C-alpha cells in the first residue's frame, strides 16, 4: 500500500496546467499508459499515519507513519514532536510491552519487527518475522509476542525477549489485526480476506463469504476457538470494553451474490460491527449505515472506559461513527436471540444506537482513546493529520498536523480518490472497498454491464496492473481511464462523474501500484530445485510424449512477458453456461500466489484446481500429461511470479 511518490508529474502546482495535462492525456489515447518518468528529486514523503497509540501513563502519543516509515513520538498534551524514529518498510501495526519499556512495530513489506526502547526512543533491535507482519501484541507476562502475518495467514508466536519464533498458529486468510483481552487471557485475530470455502457445493463460486475471529489462549499460545462471521469479507480492528464483557469488531458485509446493480437500494455492501461477549450472549451483527448515509470502510474501533460509547473510524466515509452503548443494549435486548444474528440489511437499525457521525480527515484508520476517555485520536492516513475528538461534544477539537508536504502530488490525489467513498451514490463504496489496501477482496461479483446473472467475475489484484491492458476479464476496457472512469462511474458509483483531473489522478495512482515483495522468491535469480523444474515445465515446447505443444497451448506463450500476460484473448475451456463468451484475456501472473480464487469466475479455489478440475481437455495449457509431482513443481514456480 505504501508508495513513495517519485513521479515526474510531481505536484499539482497549477490547476490550469494539470487540466491541460489531463486533456492531453485524454486525447493521447494509448500514450496514456506509457511509463511515467520518475526522478529522485520528485520524491515526496508523506507521513500517512495509520495507527495511534498512547503510552500507558498517557504522556506520549505514538503515531505510526506508513509512508515516511517512522514512529513519531508526540507529547500527548502539547502535541509537539519529541522524536521521529525510523523503522522498517511499510510499517502497519504497533504495540507496547506491558511495562511500556518497548514499542514493537511490524514492518509489513520488510518482514521485520522493530523493537523501540521507549526510554531512549531508538530502535534497539530488528527481528525477522513472518510474511507481511501486520499487527503485534504482547502477552501480559511479557513472555510472548504474537504477530499476525497477512500473507502467511497465520499468527506467529515469538519469544518476547529474543524474538525467536516458536511456532505459527493457523489464522484466517489475510491475518492482520490483533487485540488482547483486558484480562490478558485471550488474543483475538482478524483477517481481511474471506476464508476459503470449507465445503464444496453445487453453487461452486457463489457461496457467501465466511470469516472468523481467531481466539488464542495467551498462556498456552494455541487456538482455542474461532468465532464465525457469516457473510463477512474484510475484518479489521477489534476492541473490548475495559471489563472484557463487550467486544466489537469492524467488518464489511458484501452483497456479492446479487447483481451489483442496486446501489440505490443499498445493494453493494453493509458496513457493520459484530458485537460479542457476555453482555450480548451470542454474537450480533449490527449495521453502521443508515439510509443515505453509509459508514464506508470501518477500520479502527475503540470502546470508552466507562463502556458508554463505541467509536468506529470509517475510512471511506471519512468520519467517526459514535454508538451509544446503553441504546445499543436496549436495541439488542429487545430482540432476544439464541443464536448469532445479523441486522446488516436493516438500514433503520442504526438510528437506534448511532448518535453521531463526526467528519474527520481523509482515510481515517487507527483510533485510540485517552485513558480518561475524553479524547479520541484518529489517524487520518491521507491527510497527514491526527484528529483529536472531544468525546463530550463529539466534535473535532483539534487537528494535529504531522508536518507532511503541504502540496499534494498527483499520486496523493489519486490515492485519496481511490480510498474515498464520496463519489458513489450515498457514499456507499469506493475503489478501496473491493480493493482492500489496493489489492483485491477475494470475492466474485455479478456486474451489471454483462447482464444479470451473466459473467460472474473474480475480483482482481491491482498491484502491477500497469501494462496489462486491456482490462476486465473479457478485455472490454482498453485502458485504465476507461476502466476507472466511465465504466466505474456508470455501473458502480451511479452518482457523479469524476472530473478529468480526478480521473487522471486516480489512473496515475493505480498505474503506480507495484507488486509487493514476492515471499516465494529466493534472493537474486536463485531458485529452489522445485521452482527450476517448474520453470522448465512452464517454458516447455514438447509434452512428455515428445509431441510438440502448439504455441498457443504453452504456458509461456499466453503468460509471457514480465507481467505474465501477452494481453490477448483466449478460450481456455472455462466458459460456464452463464458466461456470454469463453474468450478471456490471459491473466497476469503478478502475485498469483496471493490472489485465490482463480479463473475468471473464481471457480478454482486453489492454483491446483485450475488444472486438476478445470482443464480436462488441455485447453488451459498442456498439463494432463504431468504427474502430480510435476504439477506441484509448476505451481512452485508460479508462486515466484
Contact positions vs other proteins (CB under 8 A): 130, 152, 166-170, 195-196, 198-199, 212, 214-215, 220, 222-226, 520, 530, 605-606, 608-609, 612-613, 627-629, 631-632, 635-636, 639
Q: Which residue, 12 or 191, is less far from other proteins as judged by CB? A: 191
Contact 296, 430 (CB under 8 A): yes
Tell me how far CA of residue 602 lies from CA of 568, 634, 635, in angstroms.
Answer: 20, 20, 17
Q: Tell me which DSSP letter residue 488 carries.
A: I
Distances from the Cα of 75 to the Cαs of 82, 103, 164, 399, in angstroms? 6, 16, 33, 14
- Residue 243 DSSP class: T
Tell me whether residue 249 or residue 349 sits nearer to other proteins (CB atom): 249
Q: How far is the CB of 356 from other proteins (least distance, A)?
A: 37
154-159 and 144-149: which strand pairing?
Answer: antiparallel
Q: From the CB of residue 26, how many other CB atoms can be counted at a distance below 10 Å?
A: 14
Q: How far is the CB of 608 from other proteins (least distance, A)?
A: 6
Helix, strand or coil for residue 398? strand
First to last CA, the chain: 19
Nearer to other proteins, 21 or 614 (CB): 614
Helix (H) or strand (E) holding 534: helix 529-539
Select 431 or 589, whichever has its Cβ closest to other proteins: 589
Cα dihedral 418→420→423→429 (10° resolution): 90
**Closer residue to other proteins in complex, CB, 177/492:** 177
Of 152 and 364, the one with the shorter C-beta distance to other proteins is 152
Please count the residues of the chain.
641
Ranges of beta strands (E only) in 435-539 are 444-446, 456-458
CB of 263 to other proteins, least distance (A): 34
Distance CA 353, CA 173 (A): 31
Query: Residue 492 CB, nearest distance to other proteins (Å)?
Result: 32
- The smaller minimum CB distance to other proteins, of residues 308 and 632, is found at 632
Q: Compute the least distance from the CB of residue 564 to other proteins, in Å.
A: 20
C-alpha dist (Å) from residue 416 to 3, 384, 410, 503, 616: 13, 12, 10, 11, 45
Contact 286, 350 (CB under 8 A): yes
Q: How far is the CB of 526 from other proteins (least distance, A)?
A: 15
Q: Which is nearer to other proteins, 186 or 435 (CB)?
A: 186
CB of 160 to other proteins, least distance (A): 17
CA distances for 1 relative to 404, 438, 463, angstroms = 18, 6, 9
Smallest distance from other proteins to CB 438, Å = 24
- Nearer Cβ to other proteins, position 124 or 518? 518
Helix, strand, or coil (residue 354) = strand
Q: For residue 194, which of 225, 168, 169, 229 has the smallest C-alpha distance?
A: 229
Residue (89 or 168) nearer to other proteins, CB? 168
What ranges in 357-459 are assigned the alpha helix state H?
Answer: 410-419, 431-434
The sign of the CA dihedral 263, 267, 268, 273 is positive
Cβ proximity to other proteins, 216 vs 310, nearer residue: 216
| Closest separation in Å from C-beta 222 to other proteins | 4
CB of 521 to other proteins, least distance (A): 12
Tell the smallest beta-carbon distance from residue 594 to other proteins (Å).
11
* Sheet strand arrangement including 364-369: 364-369, 375-380, 385-390, 395-401
Amino acid at each position: 500500500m505504501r508508495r513513495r511518490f517519485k513521479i515526474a508529474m510531481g505536484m499539482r502546482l497549477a490547476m490550469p496546467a494539470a487540466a491541460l495535462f489531463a486533456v492531453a492525456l485524454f486525447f493521447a489515447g494509448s500514450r496514456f499508459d506509457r511509463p511515467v518518468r520518475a526522478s529522485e528529486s520528485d520524491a515526496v514523503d508523506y507521513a500517512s499515519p495509520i495507527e495511534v497509540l498512547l503510552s500507558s501513563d498517557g504522556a506520549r502519543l505514538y503515531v505510526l507513519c506508513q509512508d515516511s516509515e517512522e514512529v513519531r513520538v508526540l507529547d500527548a498534551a502539547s502535541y509537539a514532536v519529541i522524536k521521529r524514529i525510523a523503522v522498517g518498510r511499510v510499517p502497519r501495526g504497533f504495540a507496547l510491552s506491558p511495562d511500556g519499556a518497548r514499542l514493537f512495530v511490524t514492518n509489513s513489506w520488510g518482514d521485520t519487527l522493530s523493537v523501540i526502547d521507549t526510554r531512549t526512543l531508538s530502535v534497539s533491535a530488528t527481528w525477522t518475522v513472518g510474511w507481511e507482519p501486520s499487527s503485534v501484541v504482547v502477552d501480559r507476562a511479557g513472555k510472548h509476542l504474537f504477530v499476525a502475518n497477512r500473507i502467511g495467514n497465520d499468527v506467529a508466536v515469538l519469544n518476547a525477549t529474543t524474538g525467536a519464533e516458536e511456532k505459527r498458529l493457523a489464522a484466517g486468510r489475510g491475518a492482520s489485526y490483533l487485540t488482547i483481552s483486558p484480562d490478558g487471557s485471550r488474543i483475538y485475530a482478524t483477517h481481511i480476506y474471506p476464508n476459503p470455502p470449507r465445503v464444496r457445493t453445487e453453487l461452486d463460486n457463489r457461496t457467501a463469504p465466511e470469516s472468523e475471529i481467531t481466539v488464542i489462549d495467551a498462556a498456552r499460545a494455541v487456538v482455542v476457538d474461532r468465532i464465525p462471521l457469516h457473510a463477512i469479507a474484510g475484518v479489521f480492528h477489534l476492541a473490548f470494553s475495559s471489563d472484557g464483557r463487550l467486544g466489537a469488531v469492524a467488518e464489511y458485509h458484501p452483497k456479492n451474490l446479487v447483481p451489483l446493480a442496486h446501489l440505490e437500494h443499498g445493494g453493494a455492501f453493509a458496513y457493520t460491527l459484530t458485537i460479542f461477549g457476555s453482555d450480548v450472549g451470542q454474537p450480533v451483527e449490527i449495521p453502521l449505515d443508515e439510509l443515505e448515509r453509509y459508514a464506508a470502510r470501518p477500520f479502527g474501533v475503540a470502546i470508552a472506559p466507562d463502556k458508554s460509547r463505541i467509536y468506529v473510524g470509517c475510512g471511506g466515509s471519512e468520519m467517526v461513527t459514535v454508538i451509544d452503548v446503553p441504546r445499543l443494549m436496549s436495541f439488542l435486548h429487545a430482540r432476544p436471540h439464541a443464536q448469532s444474528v445479523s441486522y446488516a440489511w436493516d438500514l433503520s437499525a442504526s438510528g437506534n444506537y448511532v448518535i453521531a457521525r463526526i467528519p474527520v480527515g481523509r482515510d481515517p484508520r487507527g483510533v485510540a482513546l485517552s485513558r480518561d476517555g475524553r479524547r479520541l485520536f484518529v489517524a487520518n492516513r491521507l491527510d497527514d493529520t491526527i484528529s483529536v475528538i472531544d468525546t463530550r461534544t463529539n466534535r473535532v477539537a483539534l487537528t494535529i498536523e504531522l508536518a507532511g508536504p503541504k502540496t499534494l502530488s498527483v499520486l496523493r490525489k489519486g490515492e485519496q480518490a481511490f480510498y474515498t467513498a464520496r463519489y458513489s451514490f450515498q457514499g456507499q463504496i469506493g475503489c478501496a472497498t473491493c480493493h482492500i489496501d489496493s489489492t483485491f477482496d477475494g470475492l466474485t461479483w455479478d456486474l451489471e454491464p454483462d447482464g444479470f446473472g451473466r459473467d460472474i467475475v473474480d475480483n482482481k489484484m491491482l498491484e502491477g496492473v500497469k501494462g496489462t491492458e486491456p482490462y476486465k476479464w473479457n478485455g472490454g476496457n482498453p485502458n485504465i481511464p476507461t476502466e476507472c472512469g466511465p465504466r466505474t462511474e456508470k455501473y458502480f458509483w451511479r452518482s457523479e462523474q469524476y472530473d478529468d483531473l480526478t480521473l487522471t489522478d486516480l489512473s496515475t495512482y493505480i498505474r503506480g501500484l507495484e507488486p509487493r515483495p514476492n515471499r516465494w522468491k529466493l534472493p537474486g535469480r536463485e531458485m529452489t530445485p522445485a521452482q527450476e523444474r517448474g520453470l522448465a515445465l512452464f517454458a516447455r515446447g514438447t509434452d512428455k510424449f515428445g509431441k510438440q505443444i502448439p504455441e498457443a497451448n504453452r504456458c509461456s506463450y499466453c503468460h509471457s512477458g514480465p507481467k505474465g500476460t501477452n494481453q490477448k484473448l483466449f478460450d481456455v475451456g472455462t466458459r460456464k453456461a452463464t458466461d456470454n463468451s469463453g474468450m478471456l484475456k490471459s491473466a497476469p501472473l503478478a502475485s498469483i500466489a496471493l490472489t485465490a480464487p482463480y479463473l475468471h469466475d473464481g471457480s478454482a479455489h486453489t492454483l491446483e484446481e485450475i488444472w486438476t478440475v478445470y482443464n480436462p481437455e488441455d485447453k488451459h495449457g498442456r498439463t494432463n500429461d504431468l504427474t502430480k509431482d510435476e504439477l506441484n513443481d509448476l505451481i512452485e514456480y508460479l508462486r515466484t511470479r
